[in-house]
Amino acid sequence: MPKPETVVLVHGIWMTGLDMSLLHHRLKLCGFKPVQFSYPTIRCSLKDNAAKLQRFVRQLEKNSSASKVHFVAHSLGGLLLRKFFNDYPDQLPGRVVTLGTPHAGSLVARRMGCNPFGKILLGKSYLHGLRGDVPSWHTKREIAVFAGRTSVGVGRLIEKLPRPNDGTVAVTETYLEDMSTHRIFPTTHMGLLFSDEVAQAVCKFLHKGV
């Protein structure tokens, strides 16, 4: 019997990975071997966190003898993956899914970045990250971009977002040049992590691609 394929989960800003526990469980039920990567989202830059992710993946490959590694990232985690694959392109085969990632930059983050308190809350995730200045996706690796359209979230209190949006990120902000596929789900920004429909779509894409 073949070994389960590894899936690295990458959380979003202000999170630790516990928020991805249900998705972790559902991926396991789908036949994958999910592992959580946790990183300091505001204390370190995307560049520094990409280096941490590289060390994590290399150790993972060494310990598990994995031949394929997939990635599933929520929000800021998707921007981290773009920096990761830009700086460390020599990776094992695998597919990528981003959930609610503002690939075009975040209007909410740009508004928060206009005041000192907002800058403190965003920390180093803003510069070369949520502001929109992340390396482009220039790998041939398949990537699915999933977005939500249920407009409930704190982001609406900070910035008037174009519709549709998930309450934090507008659907237009999630588009990525050269993405393999784009899907919109009836869920909020955090709801992308808890939706069974989203989880099934993630499993299907990781198994079969587009």
- Amino acid 62: pLDDT: 84
pLDDT at residue 118 above 90? no
Say what the pLDDT of residue 156 is.
Answer: 60
Closest C-alpha to 159, from 98, 102, 82, 103:
102
CA 192 to each of CA 24, 72, 144, 182: distance values in angstroms, whole numbers, following the listed order: 13, 12, 14, 14
The answer to whether position 1 is within a domain reads: no
| Cβ contact 120:114 at 8 Å | no
Q: Of all residues in the chain, what percent carry a pLDDT higher than 90?
A: 80
CATH, residue 174: 3.40.50.1820
Which pLDDT value is given to residue 135? 93
Q: Is 158's pLDDT higher than 80?
A: no
The pLDDT of residue 112 is 86
Domain assignment present for 34: yes
Q: Is 113 within the bounds of a domain?
A: yes
147 within a domain of the structure (yes/no):
yes
Summary mean pLDDT of the chain: 93
Average pLDDT over residues 5-24: 97
pLDDT at position 113 is 82
Is 73 a domain residue?
A: yes
Nearest residue to 126 (alpha-carbon basis) of 23, 20, 44, 52: 44
In a domain, 200, yes or no: yes
Domain that holds residue 59: 6-208
Residue 81 counted as domain residue: yes
pLDDT digits (tens, 9 = 90+) for 33-55: 999 999 999 999 999 999 999 99
Longest distance between any two alpha carbons in the chain, whole Å = 56
Number of compact structural domains in the chain: 1
The pLDDT value given to residue 159: 65
Query: Is 146 inside any structural domain?
Result: yes
